[in-house]
Amino acid sequence: MKKWTNRLAQGIRVTLLVATGFIGFYLACLGQGSSNPAILIVWLFIFLSLIVHEMGHVVGARIYGMTVWQVNISGLEFHSLRRGVRVRLSRIKHRNVGGYVQAFPMFGRPMRPQMIGLTLGGPMGNFVVAVLCAACGWLLFPRAAAFFLLSFAALNLGSAVVNLIPYQGSLPSDGLALLRLLRGFDENATELAQLRLISRSIAGQTADQLPEYEVATLEQQPSPIPLVALWYRLKADQNRGDWASADSRREQFEALEQALVPAQKSVLFEMLAILRTELAFSRAMLTGDSAELGKDPLPAQVAWASPWLQLRCQALAALLRGDKARCAELLEASRRKAENSIDRALWSSEALMRKYITTAIDTPQFGQERLHDFA
């Protein structure tokens, strides 16, 4: 968007937010009979309308078969699992963004209708709730409950309209995203290569099964996207059990990491930590030396997001210490964590990693005996 149109859109959004906030507050005052408690009620209604909005995105995504990866509401991240969800405080703050939903299209289906469903879901959720609350308020009028329902209806209607105004902030508004989708959407566009690869992964295609041209497309994009390509290359090496090739990617990783600016390093903190850990795992599998595994422990927040990785590395370290029983115990724990992920490719990839480790258990040259050879 042009700078002046974006500023105009921002002004309209702020005006509408103030107007709907005032209307909601006025109606709450009529229901409460005083202004002080009404302020708290309106803040609660605003927060609830935000939840309605994000859940609308979730419903819109699920109706079209998308996989909802995570939902962020006011800095709380809800990560989807096969069984249940996990919650944590978000590390990444988006200015002037109350929440967002991260969802990926179903592989094999056109992406455009799915993305439209995801985008429209939020405003439609607010609009539906606004209509229902307004209807109930009308039926209950002039009881006090009617004014609260009308207040909540006004705030939801305002949220729907404000979000449909095209505006580019730290994230594009629903209106701007919808406008781009309606103007044209090239599913084969270069900038969508990562989205296509993630969709394939969720559908069950492991890194060594992904189309070469898609991974190569990532390598041609500006930093930091080549890091994503490196991750796919590294995982493909691991899946094939080619530990020498996996270990050889260390120099490329270090070069790509050095090219990042501080802000990028902060945003990509988890990804960088995972890549370092996978490289350490690959070197340990290649050499039988566990020194790399313990040199740079996985940060707590990264271990939280990828618990199977830490358990798998601990299992390998236990094997290299000669503790086969502990190794088997940790591998089983890693399996349970991995198979609770909604990423189907992860199930297969981690099964291969466990197979390589269990095969090494029965190899006399692997473990303490092999470790002595590298001492």
Task: Report, in this order, helix, strand and coil percent for the chain, each rounded to 5.
Answer: 70, 5, 25
Residue that is written with structure tokens 């249940």 in the block: 84
218 within 8 A of 194, measured Cβ to Cβ: yes
What pLDDT digit, counting tens, does each position of 222-281 carry? 999 999 999 999 999 999 999 999 999 999 999 999 999 998 998 899 999 999 999 999
DSSP string spanning 200-227?
A: HHHHT--GGGS-HHHHHHHHTSSTTHHH
Q: Where are the alpha helices (DSSP H) in 165-299?
A: 174-183, 193-203, 212-219, 225-240, 243-247, 250-258, 262-267, 269-287, 291-295
DSSP state of 192: G
* Percent with pLDDT over 90 in the chain: 71
What pLDDT digit, counting tens, does each position of 265-297 carry? 988 999 999 999 999 999 999 998 888 887 666
Residue 97 has pLDDT above 80, yes or no: no
- State residue 34's pLDDT score: 60
Which pTM does this prediction carry? 0.89
Q: Give the residue-averaged pLDDT of 137-163.
A: 93
- State residue 326's pLDDT score: 94
Residue that is written with structure tokens 């090239």 in the block: 186
- State residue 2's pLDDT score: 77
Spatial separation of the C-alpha atoms in residues 135 and 140, rounded to whole Å = 9
Q: Give the residue-averaged pLDDT of 146-171.
A: 93
Q: Give the residue-averaged pLDDT of 157-173.
A: 92
pLDDT category at 63 given cuts 50, 70, 90 is very high
227 within 8 A of 271, measured Cβ to Cβ: yes
Average per-residue pLDDT for the chain: 90
10 Å Cβ neighbour count for 312?
Answer: 25
| Of the candidates 328, 319, 326, 331, the residue with the CA atom closest to the CA atom of residue 363 | 319
